[in-house]
Chains A and B, each alone.
Chain A
Amino acid sequence: MIELSRITKSFNSGKPNQFTAVDNVSLVINPAQITVFKGPSGSGKTSLLTMIGCMARPTSGRIFLRGVAAAVPFQQEGAESVEITSLPERFLNEIRRSTFGFIFQQFNLVKGISSLENVMLPAYPTGEGRALFRARALNLMEQFSISRLAGQQVELLSGGELQRVAIARALINNPAIIVADEPTAHLDSKLSQEFMEIAGRLKGEGKSVLIASHDPIVFDSPLVDSLIEMRDGAVDASRGRR
């Protein structure tokens, strides 16, 4: 479970161009569910996801990770949750690497290297043996029916193939939480549907999937458990769906 308590994120604090992207948001995200953050551009969805995913710190407020704490190596024995906003950068990185998998709007794959290398990329600095994570990457590619593309450079792949490589990459370190920012923005309806099916599969495997999107295929999907609507940095309405 992820708990957000009075989260605010401001940019250019104290300057005339100060801008508040997320304004006093408190909410609870349940594990092993698909949670969609819906809202127009500039509503604060991406900013909220970056803070949950330990990529940025809130200006104020606190974020707790519960239940997924087993993946945090330095956690004190017996502690039920970890409060991530006050952690030093090194620990945040460690949590981001072990607990979160990211799927970006533009997929953000590294050009010039093979699909397999792209999938393995998040595992390189973990200190795990290459043979181990290579086998895992090949297995993931097999699951997403892209193993034939393992040796191919990513610039030669189609949109759907790119998406699957990006998903496989997000899963390489076996994270408990998948964060996807506008994952269907560059996909046609069929591929968007396919993405939601994959998200459903991941949920079935016990992973929490957080998606920021304003695509109806995503937020109207019956697979979505929780829909959080955002506007002007604040939660507009929150309704659970099961």
Chain B
Amino acid sequence: MKNVQKAIERHLNILEFTLASLLRRKAKNLSLLAMYLLVVFMLASLQFFVTALKREAAIILDDAPDMVVQRLMAGRQDLVPGSYASEIALIKGVTAVRPRLWGYYYDALNGANYTIMASDDPTAVAERASIGSGIARSRNLAVGDLLPLISYDKNPIMLEIGTIFPSGSDLIAADLIMITPEDFHKLFNFPSGQATDLAVTVHNPKELPTVAAKVASQLPDSRPILKSEIMRTYQSIFDWRGGMTLVILTTSLLSFIIFAWDKATGLSAEERKEIGILKSIGWETSDVLLLKLWEGTVISLTAFLLGVVLAYWHVFFLSAPLFAQALKGWSVIYPRFQLIPVVDAYQLTILFFLTVVPYTTATVIPCWRAATIDPDAAMRY
């Protein structure tokens, strides 16, 4: 027990000396801390943002249909005849088949593309639309305002804004306009009895691959897409975007590594002499290494913790202004939304091991040589 207390006291004493020692080289250590902090902040922000986006997409896709069936013509998506819906509905295990009408609309006024979708809601009123908050923002629209859309034959269709989607669903609905199927047909001259694709609901999720195989076999020109596949695509898109941003960040990351390596490994003559003095007055090699270990740990841990806290604030309170453009997607209308805080402990641990551990090691190793000098060297300075 006494030995444990002694060991704790030894650590505390050496830690205290470490802090005093770090304060001596304020400029060097503060510049190092600032660089370190910046790198951890950028990496942690990126990590928080990508993880939160993936989760956001997963939550939204939760409401998506189990399976979407498209029709292909010459390798491109074509309209799906209504007969396909009735044929699929007969497959065992299928609970519902819903033909969906949707398309894209280019708004020359602000150079943005909107997603236009026909509503399933039987109470939907003609010439009244529900729009995403991104459109409302960019066109400065409020409920009750009129939104003119130009139809296929260049005639304007005036839509009254009935609802603006809450910004909670902004990631996917920011550029969405929901109108009645009649207005949809009118806007695009969309042939009746056809759909853009079919939303299929299957009672037992385990049967989805079987149902998909049956659809593909009965309707050879169809392409069934499972929700899990869409989910995977989203995940990889966000991963890819995160990766691209990381590549851009790599330059700064490399500069930091070179800078940190130089600062951490370069022992000045003064530091060498100091190690000699410590050895000569009774410090053991392990005491000196403990001092250097604490030095590296204090700097890297402070940078890591501060960087992670700042990144959390940047992503979840400020909605990541530094990365949003690169990560949310390429669009004129960017979604504006508050990400739900989500922290992946595994990824944070990886970040910890990629930043704190190498730096601390880089600090200790060069001291090893200096710390193993004979204590009598100090007698000869």
**Taking the complex as formed, is B287 at the interface, i.e. its CB lies under 8 A from any CB of chain A?**
yes
- Are B20 and A113 within 8 A (Cβ)? yes
Q: Interface readout for B254-293 with A: 1 if CB under 8 Å, 0 if not?
A: 0000000000000000100010111011111101001000
- Residues of chain B within 8 A (CB-CB) of A127 are 5-7, 9-10, 13
Rounded to whole angstroms, the CA-CA distance of A14 and B7 in the bound complex is: 42
- Residues of chain B within 8 A (CB-CB) of A109 are 277
Rounded to whole angstroms, the CA-CA distance of A55 and B285 in the bound complex is: 13
- Are B17 and A117 within 8 A (Cβ)? yes
**Taking the complex as formed, is A128 at the interface, i.e. its CB lies under 8 A from any CB of chain B?**
yes
Q: Check A104/B379 contact, CB under 8 A, given A117-B17, A117-B20, A127-B10.
A: yes
CB-contacts of B1-26 with A (<8 A): 5-7, 9-10, 12-14, 16-17, 20-21, 24-25
State the A residues within 8 Å of B (CB).
Answer: 46-47, 49-50, 55-56, 89-90, 93, 96-97, 100, 102, 104-106, 108-113, 117, 121-130, 169, 173, 181
Rounded to whole angstroms, the CA-CA distance of A122 and B280 in the bound complex is: 9
Rounded to whole angstroms, the CA-CA distance of A124 and B24 in the bound complex is: 18
Most buried by A among B6, B283, B379, B380: B379
Chain A residue, CB-CB nearest to B372: A89
- Are A125 and B284 within 8 A (Cβ)? yes
How far is the CB of B16 from the nearest CB of chain A, in Å? 7
How far is the CB of B105 from the nearest CB of chain A, in Å? 69
**Taking the complex as formed, is B370 at the interface, i.e. its CB lies under 8 A from any CB of chain A?**
no
- Residues of chain A within 8 A (CB-CB) of B7 are 127
26 contacts across the A-B interface (CB closer than 8 A): A50-B376, A55-B375, A55-B379, A56-B375, A56-B376, A89-B284, A93-B283, A102-B280, A104-B379, A106-B381, A108-B276, A112-B24, A113-B21, A113-B24, A117-B17, A121-B278, A124-B10, A124-B14, A125-B10, A125-B282, A127-B6, A127-B13, A128-B6, A128-B9, A130-B13, A169-B281
- Residues of chain B within 8 A (CB-CB) of A113 are 17, 20-21, 24
Rounded to whole angstroms, the CA-CA distance of A169 and B282 in the bound complex is: 11
- Which of B277, B283, B284 contacts A108, CB < 8 Å? B277
- Residues of chain A within 8 A (CB-CB) of B16 are 124, 130
- Which of B274, B282, B285 contacts A110, CB < 8 Å? B274
- Are B284 and A93 within 8 A (Cβ)? yes
- Are B277 and A96 within 8 A (Cβ)? no
Rounded to whole angstroms, the CA-CA distance of A113 and B16 in the bound complex is: 12
Q: Check A110/B277 contact, CB under 8 A, given A55-B376, A127-B9.
A: yes
Q: Check A93/B282 contact, CB under 8 A, given A124-B13, A125-B14.
A: yes
How far is the CB of B167 from the nearest CB of chain A, in Å? 54
- Residues of chain A within 8 A (CB-CB) of B274 are 110
Chain B residue, CB-CB nearest to A121: B281
